[in-house]
Amino acid sequence: MVYFDNAATSFPKPEIVYDSIMTAMKEYGANPGRSGHKMALKLSRGIYDTREMMSKLFNVSNPMNVIMTFNATEGLNIGLKGILKAGDHVITTSMEHNSVLRPLRYLKKFGIEHTIVQADNMGRINPIDIKKAIKSNTKLIMSTHISNLTGTIMPIGEIGKIAKDHGILYMVDGSQSAGVYDIDIQKLNIDLLAFPGHKGLLGPQGTGALCIREGIELESYIQGGTGSASHSLDQPDILPDKFESGTENGPGIIGLGAGIKYILDRGMDNIRQHEENLTKHFIDEASKIDGIKMYGPLNIKEQAAVVALNIKDADSSEVSYILDQEYDIAVRPGLHCAPLAHETIGTLDQGAVRFSFGAFNTHEEIDYCIKALKDIAKEV
């Protein structure tokens, strides 16, 4: 089987990830942060280690400002709802995922307005358009780092600078970039960074995080037991407890830590270069096939390891189905939870077949897939 659906979740995970999850479950699968016995303490320490690794990876000044979430969507909801109040304005882009667009649509009911900055037909955002959208009540700029549809890399450094210059907060959705692209939240002026643990960071599903820049105040979101200040009926105000109520995904977080260790050992730059090579090769070869229409910048300086395409007028689901059934190649068709991005590139009706490459894909798999696409392009 050839797995080209890494933008949905990375597969496979490094062996060390599987092994460390199993070891945590079987040898110290207690409740972290609740009891004081050896097993519980070992799991708590392991969670702290993951927190610390993430704080280093993203240059968060204090590991306690790394909030463990269960996926990126939770982190985005905590961030958006914790920052925005009635009367606030937020700027976002047409390339966002529904994990951003749907909370913003929901918040409209509570008097929080938003402006959606339109990308060009390759999914590129012009920072000047962001700047133009700023109003006196703009509280937050919210953008993805990399489009989950076209792979377009957004100019987050320039947007961060605009936000900083105007005293506006900046939140980034790192769903397609965390673990593969450098994200230094201090250098890039990012105030809030949400991401999943199960994509580029190579951890298991059920993990993610929200990094909060020192000094940013967020309203509490989910309240509950934190194993701290247990005498108090009020949610504790300290981080990370304020946003980590209830039992965490302990073994999952251990697995996420193992994924990060794997990345650091192999070198994030090496993994990125590997993915860039695969992507370039795929784009080069696919562009030679008659009838294939590819989207995005199609240039690895501006595009991550995500390539969306269509074959003639064929329904994207049909093409994906053929790839799966006849060639054992796993890709994703349809709308990719990003309706405005499809509108932007003109694929709202047809959808798009998304190929997303990961740390364990090979040059040979790309060649095999290109052959399959050639066959299909003749047939449909």
Part in contact with its own copies (CB under 8 A); list of ranges 56-64, 176-184, 239-247, 369-377: 239-247
Active site residue: 30, 337, 370, 380, which one?
A: 337
Query: Binding its own copies by CB under 8 A: which of 48, 70, 360, 368?
Result: 70
What is the distance of C-alpha 29 from the center of its chain? 28
Using rule CB under 8 A, residue 46 touches its own copies: no
CB of 352 within 8 A of CB of 333? Answer: yes
CA dihedral 228, 234, 235, 238 (to 10 degrees): -70
Using CB under 8 A, which of the segments 24-32, 162-170, 357-365, 370-378 binds its own copies?
Answer: 24-32
337 tagged catalytic? yes
Tokens 């933008």, residue located: 7
- Residue 25: Cβ-neighbour burial (10 angstroms; 0-12, 13-18, 19+): middle
- Report 183-212 residues binding its own copies (CB under 8 A): 196, 198, 204-207
Of 36, 86, 301, 364, the one binding its own copies by CB under 8 A = 36
336 binds its own copies (CB under 8 A): yes
Indicate which single residue of 86, 136, 232, 379 sits in contact with its own copies (rule: CB under 8 A). Answer: 232
Question: Does position 241 bind its own copies by CB under 8 A?
Answer: no
CA distance 342 to 362: 28
Query: What type of residue is 353?
Result: V
Q: Environment class of residue 309 by beta-carbon count within 10 Å: exposed (0-12), middle (13-18) or buried (19+)? A: buried
Q: Least distance (Å) from its own copies to the CB of residue 52?
A: 20
In this structure, are residues 179 and 268 in contact, taking their beta carbons and an 8 Å threshold?
Answer: yes
Single out the residue of 65, 94, 177, 320 in contact with its own copies (rule: CB under 8 A).
320
Binding flags for its own copies, 73-102, as an x/- string (CB under 8 A): xx-xx-------------------xxx-xx
Active site residues: 337
